[in-house]
Amino acid sequence: MEPAIMSEEMHYEGNCIRPPSEAYSILLQVTVGCSHNKCTFCGTYKDKRFRIKDNRTILGDILFASKYMKRQDRVFLMDGDALIIPQKRLLWILDQIREHLPWVRRVGAYANAKSIRMKTLEQLKELRGNGLGILYLGVETGDDALLKQIRKGTTAENLIAMGRKVREAGIKLSVTVLLGIAGRERSLEHARATGQLLTRMDPNYVGALTVMLIPGTPLYEDYVNGKFELLAEAELLRELKEMIAHTDLSRGLFFSNHASNYLPIKARLPNGKQEALDQIDRALRGEIGLRPEWMRAL
């Protein structure tokens, strides 16, 4: 590899997203796009062909961060699925972070069921020992029929097994679920199945987002053609209530404070479950104001 030369800026390609909890992290784009990139609701990476960036570019960005980002003590590896990087290269990236950014306390990344399955438990533990502290897994739903429909490429049982594998490796697990993704017909079935999946997986964090239509995606086309119905505010609240009612975590945080949601909730389960359910009931009665439509965003 040629020696890396620190550039005058970080190398970002296309639209880049990160979890809300990584808002103040050093955003290091080590892959471009998503290794799966087939989900019907997602348009984030449609303009990118998946690839892993070369080591010289990655190291150049780390060197840039070493000079200009000394106040940020977390690193988030983008794009859609950095865990898919072969073990040797991923360990090299973590080594460079530890060498050049010694103040960094935690490294995080997105993952999917395929990339977790490709790592052995021992490899995940090795990554944990080298600084990988949290993985973000897009679950979306626990309903197998819906998982197939939205082309997640996995099953509820597989998602549960992969999530538990991450936890067993000592890596914190944050999962996202999608309110409204089932449309009207299977709304409550989706909510119950997702709550049951979360209970068995027992992640550290759950983030509930509300589906938003993105032009150019298959889900958007279904909406235009009358094959998919968006839920009204009250229906989304009832779906959220049903999901929380069927979710039992040993000591996990359940959030619905993403900008796409109408009602922000933060509850530590199991102790905070009833308070969250009561809050939703108050919102359904009109006693709590909801986020206005113009403020909602992905």
The secondary structure element, H or E, covering residue 258 is none
SS3 31: strand
How far apart CA 257 and CA 76 sit, in angstroms, is: 20
Query: How many angstroms separate the most distant Cα atoms in the chain?
Result: 64
pLDDT band, very low/low/confident/very high, at 173 (cuts 50, 70, 90): very high
How far apart CA 19 and CA 111 sit, in angstroms, is: 12
How far apart CA 138 and CA 46 sit, in angstroms, is: 17
Q: Is residue 8 part of a domain?
A: no
Q: Is residue 125 part of a domain?
A: yes
Q: Is residue 117 part of a domain?
A: yes
Q: Which one-letter DSSP state was computed for residue 83? A: G
169: domain CATH number?
A: 3.20.20.70
Give the closest residue to 173 by CA, choosing from 123, 105, 112. Answer: 112
Model confidence at 191: pLDDT above 60: yes
How far apart CA 31 and CA 269 sit, in angstroms, is: 34
Q: Is residue 13 part of a domain?
A: no
What total number of domains does the chain contain?
A: 1
Q: Is residue 157 part of a domain?
A: yes
Q: What is the per-residue pLDDT for 4?
A: 63
pLDDT band, very low/low/confident/very high, at 238 (cuts 50, 70, 90): very high
How far apart CA 75 and CA 69 sit, in angstroms, is: 10
- Look up tokens 């997702």; give the residue: 194
Q: What is the per-residue pLDDT for 205?
A: 97
How far apart CA 178 and CA 292 sit, in angstroms, is: 19
Q: What is the domain extent for residue 161?
A: 20-288
- pLDDT tens digit string along 1-26? 555 666 678 999 888 889 889 999 99
- pLDDT tens digit string along 51-76? 999 999 999 999 999 999 999 999 99
Q: Is residue 295 part of a domain?
A: no
How far apart CA 170 and CA 34 sit, in angstroms, is: 25
Residue 44, both tokens: 């984030």
Residue 47, both tokens: 């303009």
Give the closest residue to 109 by CA, choosing from 239, 8, 21, 5. Answer: 21
Average pLDDT across the chain, whole number: 94
SS3 222: helix
Q: Is residue 15 part of a domain?
A: no
Model confidence at 114: pLDDT above 80: yes
Q: Is residue 276 part of a domain?
A: yes
